[in-house]
Amino acid sequence: MKILVSALEHSANVHLKSLKKELDANTEFIGIFDKNLGSPIVDLQSLAIMGIVDALKKLRFFFKLADEMVELAQEADKVLLIDSSGFNLPLAKKLKKKYPNKEIIYYILPQAWAWKKKRIPLLAKTIDKLASILPFEPAYYPSNANIEYVGHPLLDQITTFKTSLNKEIHNVVFMPGSRKSEIRRLMSTFLEVIDTLSIDATFIIPKHFSKEDIKELYGDLSKFKISNDAHKSLYEADFAFICSGTATLEAALIGTPFILSYKANAFDYFIGSRLVKLEYIGLANIMLSKHKNIQLHPEFLQDEVTTENLVKAFNTYNREKFLQNSTILRKYLKNGSSQRVAEIINEK
């Protein structure tokens, strides 16, 4: 089977790698994905976007890329879209128009329930099979939508969980983000937190950063431990300070207490805060608040991200309560998703 894949983000490709293990060895990917999974038509590094302004500059490039995908689709038996709704939803519309009988599967759906509910009928109409990774998500879709909760992909990669916590906090992990802009905004505060608390710290740094990137973004890290393995480091840690994103859900599932800190470009945050009407931004908080009205971890956004606030939250943290609630979260998500998505792809 030949599948047209559109997976633009690093996280999407991590999940695509797990999915490929569940598919027949003769399954071939064409399109946009990590080069370790085949022969993509574009280098993923060229797709990185930093904020709204950068996105506008690259519009022409993405329009051309979408046209290439539409032409390439004639070779494919099926289409698999993963995350990245800004690119994948318009692509889905183009594909459905040109190839009305070609099956389109969307895995890791656009979070239309959070900020663009008007997209939900469009998704239901355009996508043949909707694979949701959030248990509450199918309830937002019309009854005629072909949608199911398939499990959460992080549970394909995370298989070791904490059942107890050390009484004393010795090992503290800092994850200031995976995007350069995120890291620049958080590093000075994180370094002040380390000095104030007088703790041993480990910085988790994305594998793709060069030595020059690390020096420019992080400064002198000679006093700290460095890791590229987020799951292993989070499991070994007693506590973590994490930028918003998938890493917060990883820590929540593993059972490592953490504090979320997020600072965006002022303009991007202004626009986003008016489009998205949510009580929380952390994925674990969003899910548990809907499931059991539970806030799992503290969140500090924009001007709230201060050394004083983070230190106070650290000193008053109920880590045992966090561990109990992380168990509730894992039971809510049930299992990984790769096996079920592979079954959906193989359905006639």
Domain boundaries defined on the chain: 2-149, 171-333
CA neighbor of 95 nearest in space, from 110, 84, 106: 106
Q: What contacts 24+ positions apart, CB below 8 Å, involve 8-12?
A: 8/32, 8/44, 8/47, 8/83, 8/84, 8/87, 8/88, 9/82, 9/83, 9/84, 10/34, 10/44, 10/178, 11/83, 11/246, 12/82, 12/83, 12/84, 12/108
pLDDT at 178: 86
d(Cα 97, Cα 315) in Å, to the nearest integer? 57
**CATH fold match for the domains 2-149 and 171-333:** yes
Q: If you search the block for the tokens 């059942």, which residue do you land on?
A: 163
8-state DSSP, 228:
S
d(Cα 28, Cα 39) in Å, to the nearest integer? 10
CA neighbor of 263 nearest in space, from 196, 190, 193, 205: 190
Say how many C-beta atoms besides its own lie within 10 A of residue 6's C-beta: 24
Segments in the chain forming alpha helices (H): 10-22, 51-57, 59-72, 85-98, 112-115, 119-126, 154-157, 180-197, 211-218, 230-236, 246-254, 266-275, 283-292, 307-315, 319-333, 338-346
Q: Are 69 and 32 in contact (CB under 8 A)?
A: yes
| CA 159 vs CA 21, 88, 156, 250, 335: distances in Å | 16, 30, 7, 11, 10
Q: If you search the block for the tokens 């971890």, which residue do you land on?
A: 297
Q: In what order do the strands lie in the sheet with 225-227?
A: 225-227, 200-204, 171-175, 239-243, 258-262, 299-301
| CA 52 vs CA 80, 227, 273: distances in Å | 26, 31, 14
Q: Write out the two tokens for 336.
A: 């990984």
Give residue 157's identity as a one-letter amino acid code.
Q
Q: Which CATH number fits domain 171-333: 3.40.50.1220, 3.40.50.720, 3.40.50.2000, 3.40.50.300?
A: 3.40.50.2000
pLDDT at 46: 74
| CA 65 vs CA 55, 72, 90: distances in Å | 14, 11, 12
CA neighbor of 207 nearest in space, from 189, 232, 186: 232
240 Cβ contact partners less than 8 Å away, ≥ 6 residues apart: 172, 173, 174, 175, 234, 251, 256, 257, 258, 259
d(Cα 57, Cα 54) in Å, to the nearest integer? 5
Asked if CATH classification 3.40.50 holds for the domain at 2-149, the reply, yes or no, is: yes
pTM of the model: 0.90
Report helix, strand or coil for 80. Answer: strand
pLDDT at 119: 86
- Mean pLDDT by runs of 10 across the 348 residues of the chain is 95 95 96 95 77 64 94 97 94 97 97 82 95 96 95 96 96 93 94 94 91 93 94 97 94 98 74 69 95 97 97 98 98 98 95
